[in-house]
Amino acid sequence: MIPLSTQRVLRCRLVLHLATAILLACVVQPSSAQSIVSRDPADAGLPVEVDGRHIAELEARAAASAPEGASDAELCAFYQARGLANYSLGRYPEAISDLSQAAQLSPPTQKVTERCDKWRIRYDLSTAFAASGDIVAQIDYLKRTLAAMPASSLRHQAYFHARLADAYITLGMLHEAGAELQQVKNILSDVRGESSGGFKDLDLAVVYSLEGRLQMVQGNYRAAEDLERQEVDARRRFLAELNDRHTPDSAVVRWHREALTTAERRLVATLVSEGKLGEAAYYARESLAETQALSGPSTVATSAALKQLGVIRLQQGQVDQAAALLEQALQSVQQAQVQPYSLALADRRAWIGLVQVMRENWTEAANTFAVRDADQRRSPEQFAQRGSGNLDWAFALQNSGRPARAEAMLRRMLAWRQRHRFSDPLVTAYIRGYLANALASQHKQDEALEQYRLSFPEMTGLNGSESGGSDSDWPGGFVRQYRLRVVVEGYLDLLANMQASATSKPGIDVANEAFKVADIARNSAVQQAVVASVARANLPDPQLAALARREQDAANRAQSLGHLLEHLTALPTSQIDDATVTALERELHGAAEQQANLSREINARFPGYADLTEPRPASIDEVRRLLRPGEALVAIYVGARQTYVWTLSGERTSFRAVGVARQHWREQVALLRQSVDLSDGRIKPFDVAAAQRLYTLLLGPDADLWASARTLDVIPDGPLGQVPFALLLTEPGDISRPGTRDTYADMPWLIKKLAIEQYPSANGLVALRKAAPVASERRPFVGFGDPVFDVDAPPATTTRGLAVRHLAMAPSQPDPASVAEPAKPASQPAAVLPDASAMPAISRGEVYSHLPALPDTGDELRDMAKAMGADPQRDLFLQRRATVCNVKATDLSQYRVVAFATHSLAAGEVIGLDEPVLAMSNPALVHDGCSNGFLSLDDVFALKLDADWVVLSACDTGSGDGMGNEAVSGLGRAFFYAGARSLLVSNWAVETVSARLLTTRLFRIQAANRGITRAEALRQSMLELMSARGSDYGHPAFWAAFSLVGDGAR
């Protein structure tokens, strides 16, 4: 488990540090008194991290004795300096004692340019109380200070009330925090007329910050984001005014630059919680650059900023980039020479250990965690409170031959959570899942089954709750999907062993249980992105939109209250107010009950939406009942060590494990895709051996079950989602002269035997088969394509006579189970930003200049329209008319076929792009004022379709695996929800002429034979194209370039 020390970021004293800086706007900091507020505010409330080169100086200052015969002013300055030294060394009781004496000795009136300023000491003393973890004492101190404050010190009163509100939030006393916030507003309103020197913007920033934190802790993420953006803007305005009056290296400017970076990091955390990882990465990178400029490379502040960006990259699935950033974060904190038991050091090592586990470097990961454990034990008090147990360490131990140690660690972690009054159910569920894996690896079958039974409902959301951890405490995205697959694959291994040894337990249908568990993993790969997009989408049904928004708000509120309760109940008992905890528990139960009631209402009234946002795993019997005569199904799940295959036909079912690991499939798929890659305009020899091997391992052993079928439904997984099964070869052996035109056409391709339909999951198949019947009267076709991208748009790639639609920008996000090879560790400290090549290089404003023009798509759409008898004036939207506005304005529910012929972009390919999009005409050139030119996932969810086909004739819309498989998983689900029954998607960079021939022939075949299925029409079009004499179209790079995803019926 990732250390929960990050929860104490809740104690961030952002507003309060900044308030202190206001008072010091004209202060030249004396060398004898280092202010607490000059520290990185994000570290407030955590054990202090001090650069090692300063420790000796601080130790000397902390050991000094008070000078004899000194005046009160001199003693005040001495105790202030010694108190700050003790604070920086983490000796909080001594710091509080010294600063309290300094406060008593400080004169009631004094110029702020002198040492021993009473306000500065009071702020530092409050910070010391907070850092000590004694929030109750801090609240008492703040109340006493406010009571003694003169009525004339209005702005100081406002900032101390703000600090008090912050402390109340830390203890979950939200009502009291709200009352203090109102006090802050009232006081600042009274003094606004007196504001000068830009204080108005700083006052606004203080209020926005507190309001944002209150909204965030209550789960109102959208409101929190808006407030945090306003805070960032206000701080930028204030800083601009300061720069006009002070030199760039002045202390006050530096403090407020630090404040701005801290505000940006809080905005980043909120964006991550909303699933806006692309935008979060942009702000995190900006904050990192500023932090490095302010504090240098070898500091805890820079390490924290590097870590934040690294974790975002990891959540995006960009493991190489994440590893480089996290390695630099570890180097930064190590070179700062912090204490060995530093929580920052422990945190960075935990993230490095997770990456090593993901790469299956088990021994290396176990060693990383062992070093972390040994150093944490150097502080017995801290270790007693926090321990060092870690989910990923346990998994490393299990896989390095020490499963008993892993079991013992996980049992301790589980017992620790069970002793607490409140524990995040999701984290507990994952501990149980990893424990089940450790038990299964020791052949403790019954105990493992019990832990799997307890973990899966919460871990997969099947208990109706959404209690997942926050993205800082319990990362989502790629990390969560990886951990889910870890548990799923452990369970599948156990079930496969039970099947092979015929040791099934009563009440467990092994094949069916494994089938459902695998479907959970398939669905979850894009589920978070889908839910986030639906939340942003303007759903066409206003009643559903209102219910969905209320349901998500209730879920967010329950989740945030759960995080707060877990944080509170882990505090020492002296800090816990039972009445507050009871009230929060009551609020949590109320929010959870409200979410459950709304979820039930949505399920009853809008089952299609429920299937989209909370897909339930389909059973074998449920799928079998929906198979049509002449239809069989093959479902595949690719695990780290072996692959699982289910074949369903009639009343017969086969379930087997194939001893082929994920890495092998990645290699085989890469070879196959290289041999059909036309991006350089060259035809390459097809990899016959790889196509034969895939068939032999996946389909061949159960061929008797589907031999008589006319249609084969395929549910692939992971890297196998990148290969159209149509190009598998059904007969082994050498093919003479592979590469000649006629030889390719004569090969025994699987498509020659039967039509093929692809589905993203078994649940997706069930949902599509149960969809409402189509309208009888619809127009035949509408198409959008050949968009206008740029005045000087690059042409489509043309080499040796092949015109190829291709855009090479950035790779899609990988499968959560697919981890890149390790990057070489950085040999230098993090003195500069990581190599720019590790980040998306193209911004939204620049993207259109990188998109090649697609003039041939206009011809393709015209041919489709002609084949289907469409009205080209009414139904074709080409060039300047191919806009997002026209897509939204057209009643697409009136069309049987809806086609988009343009480029697709995956999440992460463009800076700030958080979801897959289709690129439409550049709004700057066509005056499209209602969009940014991208038809996004959000937009698609808001469409209303009744389409037999949605054609996505773009570059690589159907390729990718796992989280990167946007067309099949992300955009596909959106189009299916909007009302499409099937998608025709391109699998790779397509050659323009063959693509046009294939698609237009498909629709001519359908138009000529109304009784033919969509899957069979595509099959016949493929066969016609590959058999075209005198062409190279027998090569599968041409005829296998498109796949049917979804229901291929009539």
* Spatial separation of the C-alpha atoms in residues 1045 and 753, rounded to whole Å: 19
Are the C-beta atoms of residues 85 and 62 closer than 8 Å to each other? yes
- The DSSP call for residue 835 is P
* Spatial separation of the C-alpha atoms in residues 291 and 872, rounded to whole Å: 56
The continuous run of DSSP H or E covering 797 comes out as strand 797-799
Residue 238, token pair as written in the block: 């204030």
Are the C-beta atoms of residues 350 and 392 closer than 8 Å to each other? yes
pLDDT for res 819:
47
pLDDT for res 518:
94
Amino acid at the residue 228: E
Burial class (CB in 10 A: 0-12, 13-18, 19+), 685: exposed
User: How do residues 160-212 score in pLDDT, each as one tens digit?
Assistant: 999 999 999 989 999 999 999 999 999 998 886 555 546 889 999 999 999 99
- Judged by DSSP in three states, 946 sits in coil
Among residues 269, 309, 613, which one has the least CA distance to residue 471? 269
- Using CA atoms, how far residue 58 sits from 85, 86, 255, 702, 914, in Å, is 5, 8, 21, 74, 46
pLDDT for res 633:
97
Pairing of strands 779-787, 755-758: unpaired
Burial class (CB in 10 A: 0-12, 13-18, 19+), 1026: buried
- The DSSP call for residue 701 is G
Among residues 104, 99, 73, 72, which one has the least CA distance to residue 88? 99
Among residues 807, 955, 789, which one has the least CA distance to residue 880? 789
* Spatial separation of the C-alpha atoms in residues 970 and 529, rounded to whole Å: 8
* Spatial separation of the C-alpha atoms in residues 276 and 263, rounded to whole Å: 17
Q: What b-and-e string marks burial along 498-528, b requiring 16 or more CB atoms within 10 Å of the CB?
A: bbeeeeeeeeebbbbbbbbbbbbbbbbbbbb
Q: What is the phi/psi pair of residue 309, to 5°?
A: -65, -40
* Beta-carbon contacts of residue 16 (< 8 Å; ≥ 6 apart): 123, 126, 127, 159, 162, 163, 166
Amino acid at the residue 403: P
CA of residue 883 relative to chain centroid, distance: 29
Among residues 402, 410, 319, which one has the least CA distance to residue 367? 402
Can you give 502-565 as a three-state secondary structure string?
CCCCCCCCHHHHHHHHHHHHHHHHHHHHHHHHHHHCCCCCHHHHHHHHHHHHHHHHHHHHHHHH
Amino acid at the residue 700: G
CA dihedral 61, 66, 68, 72 (to 10 degrees): 110
Q: What is the phi/psi pair of residue 204, to 5°?
A: -60, -40
Count other C-beta atoms under 10 Å from residue 736's C-beta: 7
- Using CA atoms, how far residue 14 sits from 21, 86, 286, 347, 616, in Å, is 11, 22, 18, 21, 43
Are the C-beta atoms of residues 787 and 895 closer than 8 Å to each other? no
Burial class (CB in 10 A: 0-12, 13-18, 19+), 764: buried
Among residues 489, 521, 507, which one has the least CA distance to residue 715? 521
DSSP H helices, 869-922, are: 872-875, 884-889
* Spatial separation of the C-alpha atoms in residues 816 and 479, rounded to whole Å: 7
**To 5 degrees, how large is the angle CA 198–CA 203–CA 204?**
100
* Spatial separation of the C-alpha atoms in residues 125 and 120, rounded to whole Å: 9
pTM of the model: 0.84
Are the C-beta atoms of residues 723 and 1040 closer than 8 Å to each other? no
* Spatial separation of the C-alpha atoms in residues 92 and 985, rounded to whole Å: 62
* Spatial separation of the C-alpha atoms in residues 825 and 803, rounded to whole Å: 41
Cα first-last separation, the chain: 50
Regions in the chain scoring below 70 on pLDDT: 1-54, 109-114, 192-198, 461-475, 525-537, 733-742, 792-845, 908, 954-970, 1029-1030
* Spatial separation of the C-alpha atoms in residues 1008 and 1013, rounded to whole Å: 12
Are the C-beta atoms of residues 766 and 715 closer than 8 Å to each other? no
The single residue listed with the structure tokens 């291709």 is 806
* Spatial separation of the C-alpha atoms in residues 523 and 646, rounded to whole Å: 17
Are the C-beta atoms of residues 728 and 749 closer than 8 Å to each other? yes
Residue 552, token pair as written in the block: 């998500």
